[in-house]
Chain A
Amino acid sequence: MPSDTHEALLDVRDITVSFDGFKAITNLSLSVPKGSLRVLIGPNGAGKSTLLDTIIGKVRPDTGEVRFDGQVISTLPEHRIAGLGICRKFQAPGVLEGLSVRENLLLTARRDKGVLGILKSPTRAEQDRADELLHLTGLTGRADVPAALLAHGEKQWLEIGMVVAADPQLLLLDEPTAGMTAQETAQTAALIHTLAGRHTVLVIDHDMHFVELLNAPITVLHQGQVFREGDLHTLRADPDVMEIYLGRPRELVAHD
């Protein structure tokens, strides 16, 4: 297993994370190859969000380390980790409500995010990038609308756009379809497929219909550990996986 680690863009090595003695993650290892799309599922409290928190430096592992492109990042400050090209979309949308859609995208598209850098006017390239992101997220028609006035689904897309704006190598999406209609969910899946060509993407979601649309390798987390890895088809046939979803067993059952 350790032989292929140099190929991995993200390499989580044997991390343990605890909150006041409670182990949210226990000896978890996970590696995600460059350019791939990976889906992370697991019952509530499995530690999915905590894993993302650890990757972006919001929480620090007690033991183990997180490597990115070969470099240990679990000791770096958060904005440095973000600067290396890891961006995360949180569960709750957090667009800058006072700014327009375009301004939100333009702000996160800035290369120089220092105090003085932000005071300069954006470069041509940065503006083009914002336009590109408007197009990508399907928000071109809403460019000048204040973000506060967007519909829920639009906010989620804007936030994905903001996360993508800095052109991160690794994109972490935590439940991007929460609260979306079936149609919005399908659009989001299409958006993620577009992104997956250019970025390495790790998606968490509970919506099995969405997971099916993503059609990507799945890692199942349970009680802070990797429980299974495989495709949706195999996992659905796995009685142990069904077992841990007991209590919400219909989730893994096909929607059709």
Chain B
Amino acid sequence: MNVLNKKIPVAFAMALTLTAGLMLSACTDRNTETGSETSSKQETDGNLDTLAMEAVNQAQVKYKASEQAGYAWAKAGTMLASAQEALESGDFETAIHQARQATALADTSLAQAEAEQSAWLERFPKAPTGASP
């Protein structure tokens, strides 16, 4: 798997895109659950706004970290921006949902940054052995 991925970037990319996609849909599922949980919570303790703020803050921290690593993903940035907008307009459920998506994307980009610390070294063409320059 690993070696295959090294050699077939397209397959690797598709795999990652797929996993990212799956992750996102998983996240969506989770969020729907959390969403309904939080709605009922809101009815009881009315803290949806706090949860939304926390979710947006967490996404912000993760996105900043990915930027600092030099591996920020555009989609994470736009998702974070719309979460912030939703938060400001008082649409807390949407804010939570989008902030979690942004966090998931930023997490994946941080994993990419981590993997690339050494993975890139294998990728550069090697001089053919014994070839005279």
The answer to whether A and B belong to the same complex is no
| Interface positions of B (Cβ within 8 A of A) | none
| Interface positions of A (Cβ within 8 A of B) | none
